[in-house]
Amino acid sequence: MGTVNLYVAYIINPARSSSTPQMLFSNQGLASQEKRIQEYLAAQSEHPTLLKTFIESSDNHQRHRHRWPELESAVTYCLEHKAHLIIAEIRNLTSNDAFAKQILRLIGETRPQDEVSTEFAAEFFCCDQPFIKKDNFMVLVEHAKKQRELHGQLIKAGLSRTTAKSGNPHASDVIVKVNKPKIDNAIVFALMLQPIISSYRSKGYSQRQMVSALNDEGFTAPEGGHWVLSQLQKVLDRIKMNESALTLEKQFIEYKAKELSSFAIAEHLNKLGVPSPKGKAWTDEIVDNVSERIKQLHDIIRFNDFVIELMPILEKYHIDELTEDAFALELQQAGIVVPQEAA
């Protein structure tokens, strides 16, 4: 963060009412969040100064017209005082448009030109998910937005096709397509958590110890909230499947080139003593699952690469108010190919 050592803290106060939407409240108590912020500040080598702490209350009277009034105030304060923002717990709020809008304003992506000097490059740090940074925040927001749109479209299509009257024989295929965005997000979550789990394994942690460590260190569960054993076990299964897919991808390509059946591939892997992601002997079903995971990982990487390539043109599309034809021409001239799933 250079020579700037001024900080502003942002905390979301736990909800007091069960009627408050889950998205809008924090899982950690105020004391716990404040402790994490102090730990972050103590780890800085530049003698940091905490200027102010903003606390978003679940019963804030402004909530009915503005979801994140304290976050907006915190961002404004950061820009006015050239300070960086420490977020105690961001959870899955990258998918919340109103929340993301304020963070994008902080880092200059949606900031009005007359608001503050553009010479100051604001940063932010998320105590519960330190891998979320300024460099990847925009991509995470766009990815979440695209996934929401796609999921909504597929749900509508799925509902229309799977009604009792339709008698659709391909209902299972429709359901798979509807669930694809959620599955992709779960796979990405497992990829991000894999280094953390690896460190726990190297320390000899049991699964229950891993659950405790994840909660103590402020990592939120896939759907938000505290970790429980069953959630960890699902993530561990995804991590094992990811590891197998990434490790065996080259071999699987060779097997497919030789037109080996899934059964033949399973027999071959068993003879070689290659461990399966299920921790038991390979079967044709496990081979098919790994093959599918390889494809899923490729789709995710391809989609994320597409979003990164697309961002400059989307910005131009927004600023210059390009027509759809002009936008398509910009894509063509830039050599950007739209993935089939995004078309």
Reduce the DSSP state of residue 92 to 3 states and report it: coil
Tens-place pLDDT, residues 107-146: 986 655 555 455 677 899 999 888 888 888 888 888 777 7
Are 56 and 97 a contacting pair, CB within 8 Å? no
Long-range contacts of range 293-297, CB-CB < 8 Å, 24 or more positions apart? Answer: 293/187, 293/241, 293/242, 293/244, 293/245, 294/245, 294/248, 294/249, 294/252, 296/183, 296/184, 296/187, 296/245, 297/187, 297/242, 297/245, 297/246
What pTM, to 2 d.p., does this model score?
0.47
Residue ranges and CATH numbers for the domains of the chain are 6-160 (3.40.50), 170-334 (no CATH)
**DSSP-derived secondary structure for 200-249:** HHHTT--HHHHHHHHHHTTPPPTTSS---HHHHHHHHHHHHHHHHHHHHH
Tens-place pLDDT, residues 288-319: 999 988 888 877 776 665 555 555 655 555 55
Tens-place pLDDT, residues 255-298: 989 999 999 999 999 999 999 998 889 999 999 999 988 888 87
The residue written with tokens 């994490």 in the block is 36
Long-range contacts of range 170-179, CB-CB < 8 Å, 24 or more positions apart? Answer: 178/151, 178/154
Percent of the chain residues topping a pLDDT of 90:
34
